[in-house]
Chains A and B, each alone.
Chain A
């Protein structure tokens, strides 16, 4: 237990300080803003790296420190932080990705007027996520959870002059809010049913792990499902995935941050953190597995038909998060977190690479790109590594993490194994399509003048490419070291020939078919664009989920609200207006008495006097 671990609460303070300084400085300090923001993340990363190294080397016990925050009667609410293997790993990854994104943004956002504000938001975002990871109880986790939501709202709507960005920010906020309600209800239920109303993870673990029977099975399932609803919202799972593709309206570095390190990781992390609750409820686990599996294949099919570079990656994120959920639902915490880590690296890489491309060609439509490989060598190579990792081609990281999940699925649930394989195939297909359309072929008009991005942008790409290529080796089918370290359980060796062969085969097959279709032009470009079968349209629109929601929820809600508005303006407002009009009419009438003429005043005085006298005298006639 070294001093780094004991002072881990300092980690989120680095970006928070950066945020406060940036807010205080204002917009004029552009260069200082970049440096301060990046230093905040770098400091947090260095600090969490020390902790991670310590835990890797010594594997000490979990460290928990808290202080009493509120005392209500006999109940005391404690707040604090906890360092486990999982949190130390998450801290490092979050701070690392955040630092790279900020480094990259120095180039990408160079000409933006509000770059200092941007760095402030990113720092706040990083702070919230680090705080969320460090939280030792559900309540403080929820606070940071909401902060993450606010920051994503701010950053997605960063270019708030664009109506689409505004709409996307609102959508992200509202849709994730639905999930947040679930999480809040889960916390309330836990508070109600837990012994001594404890909300910290250690107690939750001991209560649910020990099969103590303190909480009945039905309630456990309910709590687990409600937590999962929260995770659905944050991690963009079906049916609350709709905000994630729209969130592409934000700056591209933010997409990388949201998709790799902060926002969507929060949902998976939440489930991993409360995994003991889920393990108590088979029904909840099954739900998670199937929702995850469905989301994986559903989003992959949608990604296949998108033409917007960033939207393809967004749907790919939804799909990969489905993978993680599926792994968690199948009981493999290792698989879920492992894929979360590798995905963080290669998806951040892909988004930053996409940002580099967009920076160069000023369009997001992949049909207008092409032939960039000769002009942007670093971007091309690093993007290729990311794409191969995402497609699950060995020896890149995505292969190993996918393999863990597929191996677990092969052991427990063949149906989900098939779904996983299909998803892997489609993933490979759309990535090859994306890569070929963007980087291969003849240069298009838009890509003619494209140049390689500056070093401050390519450096993060190279670093991330190294990690995307190599980070998979911490857990291989023959070496279960990572899972043992993470879960503190027995070393699982899950060498499953079927899984390995299957995933490699579908990955290569996907790439090959993609190359056939898009690379060798077996299907001419003209034919692709003119003939759009109905299902392509359907996929392009994302299975019409948005339209369905609009018809199912938005329209009726708007109708209801317009009815309520009418009620408010005409009935409630009418009463209010009547009251106001009555008073002002009375006032006007009374004001006419004040006509400045002494005789009127005298008359009023006399009438008042007579009334008073009559009232006093008249009392004697009353019984």
Chain B
């Protein structure tokens, strides 16, 4: 069953990647990042059961990841709100400060 789970995770990861690269709305980009993190979680859990040495460590690790992802989502949304207040938009392609 392991390859099926891994393939599933790869599909999720790639869809998330595509969304993160293409979507204009910053909130959607954040969502896509969450999707990618979830794909990673799926991998961790799958290996925790079907890995060479199955153990609970994978689950612990995925718990940590979920925590970090939750913190990341909170900070990200806060940044978006601050940005929106400054620039009046959350369209990613209107943020090109790095150009200068």
Contacts and interface: CB of A to CB of B under 8 A. Distances in A.
Mostly helix, strand, loop or mixed at chain B's interface? helix
A594 interface: yes
A572 B90 CA distance: 53
Contacts of B85: none
A57 interface: no
Given A606-B17, A606-B21, A599 B99 contact: no
Interface residues of A, number: 10
Nearest to A605: B21
B50 interface: no
A596 B21 contact: no
A599 B21 contact: yes
B77 interface: no
Given A606-B17, A606-B21, A598 B100 contact: no
B17 A599 contact: no
A384 B17 CA distance: 107
A58 to B, nearest CB: 89
Interface string B64-100: 0000000000000000000000000000110111111
A599 B21 CA distance: 5
Given A602-B21, A603-B21, A596 B100 contact: yes
Chain A interface mostly: helix
B15 to A, nearest CB: 14
A599 B22 contact: yes
A250 B76 CA distance: 84
Contacts of B98: 596-598, 601
A594 B29 CA distance: 20
B20 interface: yes
Interface string A559-601: 0000000000000000000000000000000000011111101
Nearest to A601: B98
Interface string A591-623: 000111111011100100000000000000000
B96 A595 contact: yes
B96 A596 contact: yes
B92 A597 contact: yes
A598 B92 contact: yes
Contacts of B100: 596
The 6 closest A-B pairs by CB, nearest first: A596-B99, A596-B96, A596-B98, A603-B21, A599-B21, A597-B96
Interface of B: 17, 20-22, 29, 92-93, 95-100
Interface of A: 594-599, 601-603, 606
18 contacts: A595-B99, A596-B95, A596-B96, A596-B99, A597-B92, A597-B93, A597-B96, A598-B92, A598-B95, A598-B98, A599-B20, A599-B22, A599-B92, A599-B93, A601-B98, A602-B20, A603-B21, A606-B17
